[in-house]
Amino acid sequence: MNLVLICFVIFLLMGMPIAFVIGIAAFTFFITRPMLPFEGAVQMVILQSQSFAFLAVPFFIFAGNLMNVSGITSRLLGLARLLTRRMYGGTAQISVVMSTLMGGVSGSATADAAMETRILGPEMMRIGYKKGYICSVNCVSALITATIPPSLGLIIFGFVGEVSIGRLFAGGIIPGFLMMLFLMITTSLTSRFKKYDPPQADAPRLTFREIGENLKESVWALMFPVILIVGIRFGLFTPSESGAFAVVYAVIIGKFVYRELTWENFKDALVTSFKDNGAIMLIIAMSGPFSYAITWVKLPVILSNFIFGISSNPQVLVLIMLGFLFVTGMIVDSNVNFILLTPIFLPMVQSLGFDPIHFGVLMATVVTLGVMTPPIGAALYTVCGIIDCPPEEYTRESIPFMAAVLLELAVLVFIPEAVTFIPNLIFG
């Protein structure tokens, strides 16, 4: 096992892609044990792809990409601009509101962060926001997108932990809106402090007529999450299948309502989607032999005994786990975090009577936050790359936003109803 860990660290530092780091480190485990044939390692790679619940991942990635090319995203942006035009730090607030609206159609934080930085970044630089601040608000607020259903993090947690994805989706609604509130307050306070973008004195007051005009178009996008949850609730499709319906819905709205979906941009969205899916699946597949190796040496048992040794109070234990996940999230890929730690943590919290849906939403949020934290985070490097912002500057400016998210999570640990109320209301 030591060899596995040494390989893991060295390969990671050499700049090897994470999927190969995990896979090749685990291969050394199989090679050095005559008892374990190498076919077994290959078999574990393949088996990871054989989960029906995982289907929701490629489907929602595709649905999200179709939304971007079919005019749904641009209509939501119009609505977000309308809603925030009289606020302090108005352009930054657009990003927070936009991520909330996008939450209902997209499941990926990185994709949302990249899209909004691309759209809002240049405008924010012109108004005088610092690059680090621009990246921070666009990146961290994208976590709202990944909390409001559909959410890739919740899907992966559900498929690894065998927890109802429908319930998890419903459980993400209140925490998502609460996060919007926390981040809007943070944005307002920080932009006042830094004197960014004060509201224009002549900005007209928002009228119902204006909202109504906008809703006529954007309602198709806003209905999307409602249709998904209703479809699951009434047994039309299972949560694993819901992504296929999302794709069909996006195609219909893009083609027949907004009339912006063409064969060309459909093909672009398709290629982007199977590439994204392949990249995620490669990580998940290569972690198969890795999980096998750590089970073989009983690491999960050792780790859970260690954590149980610290405290037996469920809330304290969950706080410790979330802290642990925040730290591992800084260096480990989010999918790897889900796959390796869900099977260890979930049975532990369940044995203490902690609700699996409640835990799932908290875990998915903190693990997804990992893509935004330095030193290693996919979303961080994506947004910083878009407007050429030094990651150090991002790190400094993101502290208040990260703190807001962590505070929200800490509060949610003690209020299970904030997570479980809607799933219980919908699913009984």
296-315 positions binding other proteins, by CB under 8 A: 296-298, 300, 302
| 130: helix, strand or coil | coil
User: Considering the rule CB under 8 A, would residue 370 count as an interface residue with other proteins?
Assistant: no
Residue whose pair of structure tokens reads 């936050």 in the numeric block: 369
User: Considering the rule CB under 8 A, would residue 292 count as an interface residue with other proteins?
Assistant: yes
User: Considering the rule CB under 8 A, would residue 11 count as an interface residue with other proteins?
Assistant: yes
* Least distance to other proteins, CB of residue 426, Å: 10
Cβ proximity to other proteins, 45 vs 69, nearer residue: 45
Cβ proximity to Na ion, 249 vs 292, nearer residue: 249
Binding part of the chain for other proteins, among 87-95, 175-183, 373-381, 417-425 by CB under 8 A, reads 373-381
Residue whose pair of structure tokens reads 């860990």 in the numeric block: 5
* Least distance to other proteins, CB of residue 110, Å: 12
User: Considering the rule CB under 8 A, would residue 216 count as an interface residue with other proteins?
Assistant: no
Q: Which of 4, 55, 154, 332 binds other proteins (CB under 8 A)?
A: 55
* Least distance to other proteins, CB of residue 281, Å: 4
What's the alpha-carbon Rg for the chain, to the nearest Å?
22
Distance of CA 356 to the CA centre of its chain: 18
Cβ proximity to other proteins, 50 vs 312, nearer residue: 50
Residues 314-320: contacts with CB within 8 Å, 24+ apart?
314/349, 314/352, 314/353, 314/354, 315/413, 315/414, 317/348, 317/349, 317/352, 318/349, 318/354, 318/359, 318/362, 318/413, 319/410, 319/413
**Nearest-angstrom CA–CA distance, 29 and 42:** 13
φ/ψ bin of 195: left (φ > 0), alpha (ψ from -120 to 50), beta (otherwise): left
User: Considering the rule CB under 8 A, would residue 267 count as an interface residue with other proteins?
Assistant: yes
Query: Could you tell me if 347 and 302 are in contact, meaning their C-beta atoms sit under 8 angstroms apart?
Result: no
**Nearest-angstrom CA–CA distance, 331 and 326:** 9
Q: Which of 52, 193, 308, 414 binds other proteins (CB under 8 A)?
A: 52
User: Considering the rule CB under 8 A, would residue 238 count as an interface residue with other proteins?
Assistant: yes
Binding part of the chain for Na ion, among 88-96, 182-190, 233-241, 249-257 by CB under 5 A, reads 88-96
Cβ proximity to Na ion, 173 vs 332, nearer residue: 173
User: Considering the rule CB under 8 A, would residue 335 count as an interface residue with other proteins?
Assistant: no
**Nearest-angstrom CA–CA distance, 269 and 261:** 10
* Least distance to other proteins, CB of residue 167, Å: 8
Binding part of the chain for Na ion, among 104-112, 256-264, 336-344, 396-404 by CB under 5 A, reads 104-112
* Least distance to Na ion, CB of residue 16, Å: 31
* Least distance to other proteins, CB of residue 146, Å: 20
Binding part of the chain for other proteins, among 67-75, 124-132, 179-187, 242-250 by CB under 8 A, reads 242-250
> x/- binding map, residues 115-134, to Na ion, per CB under 5 A?
-x------------------
- How many other CB atoms sit within 10 Å of the CB of residue 207? 10
User: Considering the rule CB under 8 A, would residue 392 count as an interface residue with other proteins?
Assistant: no
* Least distance to other proteins, CB of residue 289, Å: 10
Buried residues in 144-167 as b, exposed as e (16+ CB within 10 A): bbbbbbbbbbbbbbbbbbebbbbb
**Binding to other proteins (CB under 8 A): which residues in 137-196?**
162, 164, 166-167
What is the DSSP code string of 242-262?
HHHHHHHHHHHIIIIIS----
Cβ-proximal residues to 347 (8 Å cutoff; 6+ apart), any chain: 304
Residue 107 binding result from Na ion, other proteins, none, given CB thresholds of 5 to 8 Å by partner type = Na ion
User: Considering the rule CB under 8 A, would residue 24 count as an interface residue with other proteins?
Assistant: yes
Q: Which of 274, 308, 352, 407 binds other proteins (CB under 8 A)?
A: 274
**Binding to Na ion (CB under 5 A): which residues in 143-182?**
145, 148, 150-151
Cβ proximity to other proteins, 179 vs 367, nearer residue: 367
Distance of CA 155 to the CA centre of its chain: 10
**Binding to other proteins (CB under 8 A): which residues in 340-369?**
343
Query: Could you tell me if 342 and 360 are in contact, meaning their C-beta atoms sit under 8 angstroms apart?
Result: no
What φ, ψ does residue 313 adopt, rounded to 5°? -80, 120
